[in-house]
Amino acid sequence: MADMSRRFPAFLVLALLAFMVLAPMAGLLNLGSLPGYEMTDLRFWESAYLRRVFFFSVWQALLSALLSVLPAILVARAFALQPDLPLRRALLRLFALPLVVPAVVAVMAVVSVYGSDGWLPLGRSLYGLNGILIAHVFFNLPLAVRLLLPQWQAIPRHHWLLAEQLGMNSWQRWRFLEWPMLREALPGVVLLVFMLCLTSFAVVLTLGGGPRSTTLEVAIYQSLRFDFDPARAVVLALLQLGLCLLVAVVTLKLQRLPEVEIADSATPTPITALHKALDIALILAATIYVGMPLLSVLIDALDGPVLSVLSSAILWRSIANTLLIGLSAALLSVSAGWFLLRYSAGLAYAGHTRGARLVDLAGSIVYVVPPLVIGTGMFVLLSPHVDVFDWVFPIVISINALMGLPFVIRCLGPAMRQNHARYHRLCLSIALFGWHRFRYLEWPLLRRPLGLAIALVTVLAMGDLGVIALFGSPASATLALLIYQQLGAYLIPQAAVTAVLLLLLCLVVYALLERLVGGNSDAAY
Amino acid sequence: MYSFLRGTGKGLALLLMSFNLQAAPPNLVVYTYDSFTSEWGPGPQVKVAFEAKCACTLELVGLSDGVAMLNRLRLEGANSRAAILLGLDTNLTAEARASGLFEPHRLKLQASALPGPWRDDTFLPYDFGYFAFVYNREKLASPPTSLRQLVDDANGASILIQDPRTSTPGLGLLLWMKAVFGDEADQAWARLSPRVVTVSKGWSEAYGLFLKGEADMVLSYTTSPAYHIIAEQDSRYAAAPFSEGHYQQIEVAGMLRSSRQKQLAGEFLEFMLSEDFQKIIPTTNWMYPAVAGDTLLPAEFAELIDPSPALLLEETQVARERKAWVDEWLEVMSQ
């Protein structure tokens, strides 16, 4: 019975996901009869240009993922081993910010730091793979740190004690304690960062130096917008999906689920003073790397007309819309993710590891279907029946929820699996089900990762420009859209102010959600 | 879920409508690009001015650009709420006409300010401008004086341009090169390519990078310096006059066949050509008004360069060749 209650909601979520992705694609493929639309031939693999685009997409995404995640392991470890570091919590919140920065602002920020008049000028060599990697690491290194850090918290206290008694050195502790724990989360984080970089658009186009550095996402955009060739866009989107599936299969092969014990967790103290100095140096380096572009945005904003931006009525309406979209998307996304993960945790516990992975994968992989494709497809399906203007918010919210799902799965997945493995039998024996199980067992134990997931998806949706520009409605401006409008009207100083407001708002919302949902625990992660 | 979403949709829409719930119908819906509807664009002033005359509500819906508007209309077909589409440029009019969605305007463009005659009976122009490379006088002492010099001088100025697939000025430069170099445009692109610092997604990115000092020149409009002169009292920026002439962009509006507000739509088009609308354009859209008039332009516009001769390819030729030209550009630029 308990099994049914897990399976049904999860299947419902999976069916909804499939519907949200496949129905719009089918809608687009079905467009043959539109006025002025003729289907072009789909033999685009014969185009040398598209072949180059394909390889470049994969190459830059792989490099970006490695350059983001490998240093992130070191930085996350340093954070884990230095629980008493001053400003630790503030730094970790800072690390949630880059993901929120709208692409165009991030490009400007990277150029402020590394451009020819920047603080660390790279000159023309910035444009090309260098610039793309710098920007992608700026976005994704801090994200990977946030997602990997909880793995250290999951190491039981007596393991650390045992390691100390055995006189293990740092390498041995890494090899026997930390690495086995990390292997559960690492492949998923690599895959997520890979997907984020694969679908990167404005960053790659602008910092890439020209069409030689282009991603498939650009080709999809071109097909759907410029050439108005929906069939080709759908085929390219499916190609991108297939590619990600392939990468997912490879990375998840490396995944090992560690044994779970019933034990409380603790953070260890580092072995030597040299170690502590090294950890601090690592954290400092990462903070400088992440902080410099953010600082440059802040400096630009302080030069700008702060008061005139603040006194605009549009700004306040945009803030309200931004919050509405962010919070609703996060709630929807976390609920969907919860049901998926509850099911996959049960599967993993019962030994069906492959099934568990498939469920998690289904939740994450939808990320790579471009929002433009889903949005346009939904438009095609809805517009004959309803007034799409009434639907702008639900569509924007549900697409943002979809885009947030992989983050929910990464944040919550390991914690829910461990929780299930530890307490499922206990729950069965004392007949703790449903609401009571959530209230008395899952909520107290899972509220921290839940808080992280909700906070992350909220700020992510708050910074998203995505589909809102596609539907367009006079009342639906968001802060990200406002920034683009200001930039388009020569109001570059104003845009810098709005960008900082967006970042501050995200910081506040993030801290509040993490505190309210995650609880007031000191061992922040 | 369906009814839930639908409920939320209606609920949210009502919530948002309560912000501007004043007027009784009729409601005239105009699709345009979102920099037109933004607080700093012409939209807010146009709305006030037209509503003062028409006893109607003008609803300006901002979509990302001309291509997005046209695609949206194609998808909506006869169900569209829009009565007017405002913001296509002449590179899209042939396709828009072929879609069969538009209705002749039956108006005459009196006192046109355009360099050539206007013969289009479906679309009416509301403003126009010329593409140009903008530079900072303090940083670049001797800018190129022709497109040919820009292309051929291997030690010449570095430039920022936009992608013709995602940006109107980007497409404008592609056509400008075709207009000047004809069948040898691909070789010209190959010679220019080493000095292209980057090709951005949109105008904003390129212009922002230019102001940060990333290149000597940026592809923009001859009217861009007017913004800096008027709004920032900064006269460092100038457009470089090119001897071959400058490629033109004419922005137009058209009336939709499916609309139930044709009377009102006609009134709007007439209003669009009136002084009340036209005088808003120069300092909000930073373009030239389509109608000639002594009082329409601020004095500072006299400081701008003379872009003549105006270059413009046939709209049918653009519609026919655009895809092939973009592919050719991609091939050369991705070497």
pLDDT digits (tens, 9 = 90+) for A48-65: 788 888 899 999 999 999
> Which residue on chain A is closest to B39 by alpha carbon?
A314
Asked if the Cβ–Cβ distance from B34 to A314 is below 8 Å, we say: no
The predicted model scores a pTM of 0.88
At A383, the pLDDT band (50, 70, 90 cuts) reads confident
Which CATH code is given to the segment(s) B130-248+305-333? 3.40.190.10
> Could you give the percent of chain A with pLDDT greater than 90?
25
What pLDDT, on a 0 to 100 scale, did the predictor assign at position B23?
44
At A262, the pLDDT band (50, 70, 90 cuts) reads low
Asked if the Cβ–Cβ distance from A210 to B334 is below 8 Å, we say: yes
Inter-residue long-range contacts of B161-164, CB under 8 Å, 24+ positions, other chains counted: B161/B196, B161/B199, B161/B200, B161/B206, B161/B218, B161/B219, B162/B199, B162/B200, B162/B201, B162/B202, B162/B203, B162/B205, B162/B206, B162/B219, B163/A205, B163/A211, B163/B199, B163/B200, B163/B201, B164/B326, B164/B329
Euclidean distance between CA atoms A177 and A258, whole angstroms? 10
Higher pLDDT among residues A313 and B215, named by residue: B215
What's the whole-number mean pLDDT along residues A176-180?
Answer: 88
Of B19, B34, B74, the CB nearest to A485: B34
CA distances (Å), B221 to each of B189, B249, B318, in order? 20, 9, 20
- Chain A residues within an 8 Å CB radius of B68: 225, 470, 472
What's the whole-number mean pLDDT along residues A153-161?
Answer: 82
Alpha carbon of A500: minimum distance to chain B alpha carbons (Å): 17
User: A240 exposed, middle or buried (CB, 10 Å; 0-12, 13-18, 19+)?
Assistant: buried
Enumerate residues 85 to 114 of chain B having a beta carbon within 8 A of any beta carbon in chain A. 95, 98-101
Asked if the Cβ–Cβ distance from A210 to B204 is below 8 Å, we say: no
What pLDDT, on a 0 to 100 scale, did the predictor assign at position A522?
45
**Tens of pLDDT along A85-125?**
888 888 988 898 888 888 888 888 999 999 988 898 887 88
What superfamily would CATH give domain B23-128+249-303?
Periplasmic binding protein-like II (3.40.190.10)
Q: Are A215 and A198 in contact (CB under 8 A)?
A: yes
From first CA to last CA, the distance across chain B in angstroms is 50
Higher pLDDT among residues A301 and A388, named by residue: A301
**Tens of pLDDT along A21-43?**
888 888 888 876 555 555 555 56
**Tens of pLDDT along A290-300?**
999 999 999 98
Query: Average pLDDT by consecutive 10-residue portion of chain B (335 residues)?
Result: 44 48 72 88 94 92 85 85 93 90 91 91 96 96 96 95 91 96 96 94 91 95 95 94 96 95 94 95 95 90 94 93 92 86
Lowest mean pLDDT among A213-227, A321-335, A399-413, B111-125: A213-227
What's the whole-number mean pLDDT along residues A171-199?
Answer: 89
What pLDDT, on a 0 to 100 scale, did the predictor assign at position A1?
42
pLDDT at A277 over 70: yes
DSSP-derived 3-state class of residue A370: coil
What pLDDT, on a 0 to 100 scale, did the predictor assign at position A28?
86
What pLDDT, on a 0 to 100 scale, did the predictor assign at position A155?
83
> Could you give the percent of chain A with pLDDT greater than 70?
91
Domain with CATH 3.40.190.10 in chain B: 23-128+249-303, 130-248+305-333
DSSP-derived 3-state class of residue A265: strand
Of A31, A108, A211, the CB nearest to B212: A108
DSSP-derived 3-state class of residue A39: coil
- Chain B residues within an 8 Å CB radius of A469: 34, 63-64
Q: Are B269 and B92 in contact (CB under 8 A)?
A: no
pLDDT at A312 over 70: yes
Q: Locate A237 and state its tokens.
A: 């989107």
Q: What is the ipTM of this complex?
A: 0.85
Asked if the Cβ–Cβ distance from B59 to A222 is below 8 Å, we say: no
pLDDT at A523 over 50: no
What's the whole-number mean pLDDT along residues A482-508?
Answer: 89
- Chain A residues within an 8 Å CB radius of B89: none
pLDDT at A330 over 90: yes
pLDDT at A44 over 80: no
SS (H, E, C) B209-274: HHHCCCCCEEEEECCHHHHHHHHHCCCCEEECCCCCCEEEEEEEEEEECCCCCHHHHHHHHHHHCC
Going by C-beta distance under 8 Å and a sequence separation of 6 or more, which residues neighbour residue A167? Answer: none
What pLDDT, on a 0 to 100 scale, did the predictor assign at position B2?
42
Alpha carbon of B296: minimum distance to chain A alpha carbons (Å): 20
Average pLDDT over chain A, rounded to an integer = 85
Q: Locate B179 and state its tokens.
A: 């207009």
The structural domains of chain A, ordered by start, are 2-34+59-518 (1.10.3720.10)
Euclidean distance between CA atoms A177 and A440, whole angstroms? 30
Q: Are A462 and A509 in contact (CB under 8 A)?
A: yes
- Chain A residues within an 8 Å CB radius of B37: 474
Of B34, B63, B203, B216, which to mutate for an interface test with A (greatest number of A Cβ within 10 Å)?
B34
Inter-residue long-range contacts of A47-53, CB under 8 Å, 24+ positions, other chains counted: A48/B331, A49/A211, A49/B327, A49/B330, A49/B331, A49/B334, A50/A219, A52/A212, A52/B334, A53/A214, A53/A215, A53/A216, A53/A218, A53/A219
